[in-house]
């Protein structure tokens, strides 16, 4: 699960980020409203933590623009203590919940889980590609009727690839969505993860669903059972 934290107070931002990372979320953060909105509009997040008082663009404007652009990502607003007006404004603009500052991390985490649960019941909770099924609530993958054991990172990578099914995703897209913006794109960690993922979701003799597009990136694709491009081995990734 990916969460975006838009908060200008560095201490608060890292307090939230560290806490969420400990709970195995993938966290991006933005220090002002303008960059936060830009990141939110161009990426998929499962939830956004949005402060009201922000430089460049305040939280209400960010929320308003997000919703008018059709983004339904659940939003938890951080409001100043005792400002009823702020809470009402936020909820009217489409915030899913609010949390007055200061707060305990446990409460923030509980509210985030709650808004993510709420939103996931409205949309489909299953993603599929061929006979691979991903349950986005329980974070479990199935293929050939069997559960596939995945680490948090492998799951995040697979979910991203399936959400972008039939599209080629480059290494830098994967980096931005599954790792962090400042992640070293020169490292071969993505290839290592892809290889590991492949060994779990594919089988020799079955149609290939995760393709390597040499020099460009990767693509998940739908296949029919009689597809001719079958898995032979994984050596093409060793380039």
Asked if 208 and 230 touch (Cβ cutoff 8 Å), the reply is: yes
Site string for Ca ion, 180-219 (x = CB under 5 A): ----------------------------------------
Question: Closest approach of Cβ 130 to Ca ion, in Å?
Answer: 46
Question: Closest approach of Cβ 30 to Ca ion, in Å?
Answer: 12
DSSP state at residue 202: -
Q: Within 10 Å of residue 24's Cβ, how many Cβ atoms? A: 13
Rounded Cα distance between 16 and 20, Å, is 6
Number of shown-chain residues binding Ca ion (CB under 5 A): 3
Question: Closest approach of Cβ 88 to Ca ion, in Å?
Answer: 19
Nearer to Ca ion, 9 or 222 (CB): 9
Give residue 130's region: left, alpha or beta (phi > 0; psi -120 to 50).
left
Nearer to Ca ion, 34 or 237 (CB): 34
The 3-state DSSP class for residue 3 equals strand
Nearer to Ca ion, 44 or 101 (CB): 101
Question: Closest approach of Cβ 61 to Ca ion, in Å?
Answer: 14
Of the candidate residues 8, 65, 97, 237, the single one contacting Ca ion (CB under 5 A) = 8
Rounded Cα distance between 27 and 103, Å, is 19
**What is the separation of C-alpha 162 from the centre of its chain, rounded to a whole number of angstroms?**
12
Question: Closest approach of Cβ 139 to Ca ion, in Å?
Answer: 32
Question: Closest approach of Cβ 236 to Ca ion, in Å?
Answer: 49
14-73: which residues touch Ca ion (CB under 5 A)?
51, 53
Q: What is the DSSP string of 6-54?
A: E-S-HHHHHHHHHHHHHTT-EEEEESSHHHHHHHHHHS--SEEEEESS-
Phi, psi dihedral angles at 142 (to 5 degrees)? -130, 140
Residue 12 binding Ca ion, by CB under 5 A: no
Nearer to Ca ion, 53 or 127 (CB): 53
Nearest-CB residue for Ca ion: 53
Strand ranges (E), the chain: 2-6, 26-30, 47-51, 75-79, 97-100, 126-129, 132-135, 140-143, 146-148, 169-170, 210-213, 217-220
Question: Closest approach of Cβ 57 to Ca ion, in Å?
Answer: 12
Nearer to Ca ion, 29 or 212 (CB): 29
Nearer to Ca ion, 53 or 189 (CB): 53
79-118: which residues touch Ca ion (CB under 5 A)?
none
Nearer to Ca ion, 51 or 96 (CB): 51
* Residue ranges that bind Ca ion, judged by CB under 5 A: 8, 51, 53
């Amino acid at each position: 699960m990916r969460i975006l934290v838009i908060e200008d107070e560095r201490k608060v931002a890292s307090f939230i980020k560290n806490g969420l990372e400990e709970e195995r979320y993938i966290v991006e953060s933005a220090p002002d409203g303008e960059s936060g909105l830009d990141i939110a509009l161009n990426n998929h997040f499962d939830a956004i933590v949005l402060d009201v008082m922000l430089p460049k663009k305040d939280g209400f404007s960010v929320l308003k623009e997000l919703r008018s652009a059709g983004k339904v990502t659940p939003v938890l607003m951080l409001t100043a203590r005792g400002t009823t007006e702020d809470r009402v404004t936020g909820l009217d603009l489409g915030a899913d919940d609010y949390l007055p500052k200061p707060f305990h991390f446990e409460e923030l985490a509980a509210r985030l889980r709650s808004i993510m649960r709420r939103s996931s019941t409205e949309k489909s909770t299953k993603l599929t590609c061929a006979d691979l099924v991903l349950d986005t609530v329980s974070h479990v993958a199935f293929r050939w009727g069997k559960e596939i054991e995945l680490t948090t990172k492998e799951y995040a990578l697979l979910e991203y690839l399936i959400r972008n099914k039939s599209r080629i995703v480059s290494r830098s897209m994967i980096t931005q969505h599954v790792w962090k913006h400042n992640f070293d794109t020169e490292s071969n960690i993505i290839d290592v993860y892809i290889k590991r993922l492949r060994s779990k979701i594919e089988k020799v003799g079955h149609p290939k669903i995760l393709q390597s597009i040499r020099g460009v990136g990767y693509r998940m694709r739908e296949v029919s059972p009689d597809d001719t491009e079958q898995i032979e081995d994984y050596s093409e990734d060793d380039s």
